[in-house]
A = this chain, B = another copy of it.
């Protein structure tokens, strides 16, 4: 399955770290790429790209100011739009339908999400009905979609790799 993440409404400075975490989570949990919408943030995008170059890919990082254009482009290519929101249907009730999609673009918001997206979405999905974090919601969503197998994902072209240890750190260069 192909899964891209659409990060809505990025704001310079204020969202720098959260949006970086969204990109890293999208990559680490098996996503194919992330598209940042909102403010253009060169440093933030570079920091995600740097991780991907160092730790492997493939993982695409894109920017498009206008989120609606992204949604329309992906829908034309046969992607289903999943919008993660605490107001949506519980993922545990929709996971079977979601897994039938072959291509998903999953939109995650910040604090102000345009109301149109609720109507444009093929699925509005909640990861608990509690306020928490788009970073956590994205991780759980990808984990459910990939059935936990993403935890063992191998990345191509990695310059370094961790050998898990009971204590301490072990990193090998490839």
Residues of A participating in the B interface, judged by any CB pair closer than 8 Å? 14, 17-18, 21, 24-25, 27-29, 51, 55, 85-92, 118-119, 121, 124, 126-133, 135-136, 138-140, 143, 148, 150-153, 155, 161-162, 164-171
Contacts and interface: CB of A to CB of B under 8 A. Distances in A.
Contact of A92 (B17, B87, B151): B151
Q: Interface of chain A, helix or strand or loop or mixed?
A: mixed
B18 A55 contact: no
A10 B165 CA distance: 26
25 contacts: A14-B17, A18-B18, A24-B133, A25-B133, A25-B136, A28-B128, A28-B130, A28-B131, A28-B132, A55-B130, A86-B162, A87-B170, A88-B165, A92-B152, A118-B167, A118-B169, A128-B153, A130-B155, A133-B135, A135-B139, A136-B136, A136-B138, A139-B139, A139-B140, A143-B143
B132 A24 contact: yes
A68 to B, nearest CB: 17
A162 B21 contact: no
Contacts of A118: 167-169
Contacts of A132: 21, 24-25, 27-29, 139
Contacts of A140: 139-140, 143
Contact of A165 (B87, B162, B170): B87
Contacts of A51: 131
A135 B121 CA distance: 25
